[in-house]
Each structure stands twice: as C-alpha cells, then as structure tokens.
Amino acid sequence: MTAGASRDDELDRTLAAVGPRLRRLRRERETTLAELSASTGISVSTLSRLESGQRRATLELLLPLARAYRVPLDELVDAPPTGDPRVHGKPIRLGGMTVVPLSHRPGGIQTFKHIIAAGPRLDAPDPRSHEGYEWLFVLSGRLRIVLAGNDLVLSVGEAAEFDTRVPHWFGGADENAVEFLSIFGPQGQRLHLRARPRGAGRSAPDAS
C-alpha cells in the first residue's frame, strides 16, 4: 500500500467516526435535530445525514457545530496530538487541507491555520454557508476564494473578510501549496483593528 493510500484510509476512518461522535454529543446535551438546526443554520436533513455517515464532514459544517456544542473543533474529529501542545493545536485533515486550531475557546472567536497541500486542483468549487463571520490572511502561496459569485485570488500578505452566511469556498489557486490564517467568530463579531495614528506619541511641532 502506498503512503498516499494509507493517508486516505486514515482520513476515511477519521471522518467515519465524526458522525457517531456528533450523535453522542447531541444526545448528551439532550438536543433535537430541529433545535440544533435552529442554532447552527444547518438543515435538519444535512445534520441527520452527517450523523449517519451519509454526508462527509467539512470545515463549514464542523465550525458551527463546535460552536453550538461549545467544544474545540479538534474534539469533534478526535484529532491526534502534535509534539508541542504549547504552540500547536491538534491538526485536523479534511480532504487536501490540514487545519490547525490556534485557539481553544469554544463558542467565541476562534483562530486556525490552514495548509492546502500542493497538487492538481481536481475538485470544483462547492460554496457553502453557515452562521458567523470570517477573516482570512494569506501566509504563502495563492488562495482562491469563490464568494457570492465573485471568483478572487489572494496573494501573500492579502486579506479578506466576509459574512459566512454568504455562500463561500476557498482552495488553492494553482498547484502550489497554500498556507493561510483564518479568524472565525459568531455572527455579529467582527475583527477590530486598532492602530496608533501617525505621529502619536511624539511631541507636536513648535508652531511659534
């Protein structure tokens, strides 16, 4: 068996375990599918198929569920630990993307590092929507974003922010690897930037 096939098998096993884990969480919280649908914006049919294993888990589905259950994202997929827990979270592999949680505050603003492996881009964009607001910043490579009919490419150092209720999708713009940061918050929580005005902290010029 090749290394690639082994990784694919591991991914399939990881994703297959997500459904039963989600069902157990929901039953432990004594929550119905209808109540969960109302709090996440995910349809009852999608939630049911996700729990039964008929629907493949994606980041767009897992993020609002982790927030609703108030658990770290990596807990939903039982991700393996890394060697340095002081710096890194538990990496989550979803298809050709690896997601590393950089914060562990369930229910609030969450930060992730995304790594898209190099290789041919075979999957067609499949925009999804969910409750929340997201900010992206590209660290390396070129990131393609499909957002409400707009097809954009972000390069290193460029950022984007958007309401995640708008259908969106992102992936590699070419065959090179891509790394980017994302900050995700519940609806209504946006990224606020604060900067010192130019010249602040310096004495004003003498006007005499």
Would you list the domain boundaries of the chain?
3-185
Residue 176: predicted pLDDT: 92
∠ CA 106-13-93, rounded to 5°: 50
The contacts of residue 197 (CB under 8 Å, 6+ apart) are none
Reported residue count of the chain is 208
Could you tell me the pTM of the whole model?
0.58
pLDDT digits (tens, 9 = 90+) for 21-44: 888 888 888 889 999 998 888 889
Residue 86: predicted pLDDT: 45
pLDDT digits (tens, 9 = 90+) for 111-125: 888 999 888 887 788
Residue 200: predicted pLDDT: 47
Residue 81: predicted pLDDT: 46
Please check whether the domain covering 3-185 is classified as CATH 3.90.1170.10.
no
Query: Residue 95 above 60 pLDDT?
Result: yes
Check residues 134 and 132 and name the one with the higher pLDDT: 134
Residue 143: predicted pLDDT: 96
Query: Residue 77 above 50 pLDDT?
Result: yes
